[in-house]
Amino acid sequence: MELIPLTLGSEVEHAVLYKGKGAFVASVSAGSIAEEIGIVPGTELLRIDGEPPRDAIDFQWAEAMSSLTLTVRAPDGVEREIDIEKDPDEPLGIGFATDLFDGLKRCNNHCPFCFLDQLPKGLRRTLYVKDDDYRLSFLYGHYVTLTNLRESDFERILRLRLSPLYVSVHATDVAVRRRCLGNPKAAPIMPILQRLMDGGIELHTQVVLTPGINDGGALTQTVRDLAALFPGVPSLSIVPVGLTKFMPAQRGLRLVSLEEARQVIQQVHSWQQEFHPKFGVNFVYASDEMYLLAGEELPSAKAYDEYPQYSNGVGMARVFLDELAEAKGLELRVKGSTLNPQPSHLRATLVTGSLAVPFVQQLSDFLNDSSIAESQVIVIRNDTFGETCTVAGLLTGQDILHQLRGRDLGDIVFLPRYCVNEEATFLDEMTVAQLEQELNVKCDASAYGPRGVVERLMRDEG
């Protein structure tokens, strides 16, 4: 049975906060089976058909059956067994405090470039946790290395068809991969991928490109080895390594240079020309950051196929530009009428990191030219992580606050969507609500991107 991934959430955060504490019910849907049988928030699910559930995957699996027996402990401590007969398609209506009831599987690697080793103190507690949990890969698209899989994990992945999974390969050469992972015991990745593929699991893959370690000939070998596994491996992304000012100098790592980024993009384009006629898709994609580092024009939407690695930063910039073109074409409909705004008195500030300025400035120019709002772009320097960190997703609340304080910000500040979590909290624990209070201006971290910004501005104007 193929299971359906749950909606995206801050699952690592939940898993850490509720570490191994069991399957506690956080919410019960009104009118659901769970409500009918008297399950309430705070109830603990102890067993399903006599077996303790390990995670939401076990629960989803059981939920898709027509009959099951739940053993639960109510908040008052009373245990009971409930037999349920139901339509297999009907959900029970239970939301859990975490999807990992038995705790998070930790990483057993020591990658020299590990971002978690490069964090300053004082960030969200959960950011310091090195997770490498195949369940989060299936449920939320997290990249995992597969170095900590036990035989029972393999069997479960294959038995439940937990597909697709997202794998940080970095290199297919055994020695190079071990160096990338800082793990001399890491088993060869190719037989692992082959075994999973043979069991019907799709594996989207990525390479974090670290100059001097897995570039050049090692990268070529990785691309060719993984392409040989298509369609079991349907995509491969190449993303540049990220280094903060806390990276210990003795590790000898450096960022991808402009020239190297250009070479990689050239290689990617030539591989795409080779693969597309055979596969019908480009298969290998450079991340947005790679194009921005190289100062190269982004490919068309078509070149990203179905955006298989969108949430890994592969194609987001293209979608941004295409949304902007759509808005420019005045095709966006707001409140049921064609966008044709009257001159506006709204004033807006668009916040970003330096890498995305060329795109965000285009959005600002459009807002000004079309009189949707009078807007400005403010580029935030990343003092927390250092100036090498130019992506908007790593901006902290404190840096934004310090650099916006005292400036004329207009009526609303748009923040990059990816610098806050689902609870609208920045990496440094500041919330968007706190930022709003400190700056005394409305802040919006959910409407970033041309469509969202235009819709929000039109709504506010109305």
What is the binding site for ligand SF4 (CB under 6 A)?
107, 109-111, 114, 116, 130, 132, 145
Minimum separation from the CB atom of position 110 to ligand SF4 (A): 6
- Minimal distance, residue 116 CB to ligand SF4, in Å: 5
Rank residues 116 and 325 by Cβ distance to ligand SF4 and give the closer one.
116
CA distance 366 to 369: 5
In the bound complex, what is the minimum distance in angstroms from residue 101's beta carbon to ligand SF4? 22
Assign 453 to helix, strand or coil.
helix
Query: Which residue lies nearer to ligand SF4 by CB, 74 or 129?
Result: 129
Pick the closer one to ligand SF4 by CB: 214 or 267: 214
Choose between 104 and 432: whose C-beta lies nearer to ligand SF4.
Answer: 104
Q: Give the integer Cα–Cα distance in Å for 18 and 66.
A: 30
Amino acid identity, position 111: C
> Which residue from 126, 174, 96, 103 is spatially nearest to 13, judged by alpha carbons?
126
> Which residues have CB under 8 Å from 449's CB, separation 6+?
319, 320, 323, 417
C-beta atoms surrounding 177 within 10 Å:
25
Q: Where are the beta strands (DSSP E) in 235-361?
A: 236-240, 284-286, 333-334, 337-338, 347-352
What sign does the CA torsion over 184, 187, 188, 193 have? Answer: negative
Q: Which is nearer to ligand SF4, 55 or 132 (CB)?
A: 132
- What is the closest distance, in whole angstroms, from the C-beta atom of residue 436 to ligand SF4 in the complex? 33
**Contact in structure between 428 and 419 (CB atoms under 8 Å):** no
Min CB(362)–ligand SF4 separation in Å: 33
- How many angstroms separate the CA atoms of 134 and 20, rounded? 16
Minimum distance from CB of 208 to ligand SF4 (Å)? 8
Instruction: Between 125 and 333, name the residue whose CB sits nearer to ligand SF4.
Output: 125
